[in-house]
Amino acid sequence: MDGDPRHGRDEYARHDPGEEPDVTDGSARQEPPHDATGEAGAHDPRAEGADASFAEGGSAGSEPPSSGEAVDGEAAAGGADPDGEPVDELTRVAAERDEYLDLLRRERAEFENFRRRVQRERGEALDKGAEQLVGNLLSVLDNFGHVRLGAEEAEDQPLAKGVEMVYRELWAALSDAGLEEVPGVRAPFDPEHHEAMMQVEADEEVEEPYVAEVLRPGYRFKGRVLRPASVSVAQ
């Protein structure tokens, strides 16, 4: 009978286990085919949004710029160096620095000139004061000269030696200060250093006049004539 269940079990028992069931057999069930197109055709809104944002964000294969490239781009665009400071600010600071350095050099040069001028004026003032003092002592030297001559003619030798010693000490002090005597007898006559008081005839023929006698000695102080010598000139 067709409806007997045992008939089905007998058929299954007679079937060889090693053989695959016949797919053509009406008793074998087939799974409905998987609709790939249906699942693939389903659209995910989130996926579409992500794809759109990626497409708008950059082209394929491009990377976002690094921080260093961004800073360099800003500097080239106008106004900042790689350190992040404005270029115009650095230029202003450099110009201000150069201005201060130039001012410092000028102030230093002016100070050096002032210092040298003060030293020169101070030296000139000291020389002028010393020159005036030594000039006042010339009459003392003249008197010492007369005393020396008198002491040499006197018979008191100890007095003559004492006068000579004092005269030499005074002359040494004035000489160290810069005083020197104008050339005297037999020196060529020099109108700058000699004052001709009289003229005498020379013993022999000479090419130029010379000092025959010193009537009053002359002196120079540091190269400047304090007093010309009063002389008689032979020619």
pTM reported for the whole predicted model: 0.52
**Highest-scoring range by mean pLDDT, 24-33, 74-83, 181-190:** 181-190
* Structure confidence at residue 84 (pLDDT): 56
Dihedrals phi, psi of 227, to nearest 5 degrees: -155, 125
The order of strands in the sheet holding 229-234 is 194-200, 229-234, 210-216
- Summarize pLDDT for 17-43 with one digit per residue, the tens: 444 444 444 444 444 444 444 444 444
Q: Which residues pair with 39 in a beta bridge?
A: none
Could you tell me the CA-to-CA distances from 48 to 10, 24, 37, 40 in Å, in that order? 58, 44, 18, 14
56-71 residue pLDDT tens: 444 444 455 454 444 4
What is the CB neighbour count within 10 angstroms for residue 28? 10
Q: Which CATH code is given to the segment(s) 178-235? A: 2.30.22.10
Domain ranges of the chain: 178-235
Sheet containing 219-221: order of strands: 179-181, 219-221, 224-227
Query: Which letter, b or e, does each residue of 158-190 get, where b requires 16 or more Cβ atoms within 10 Å of its Cβ?
Result: eebeebeeebeeeeeebeeeebeebbeeeeebe
* CA pair distance 136, 77, nearest whole angstrom: 84
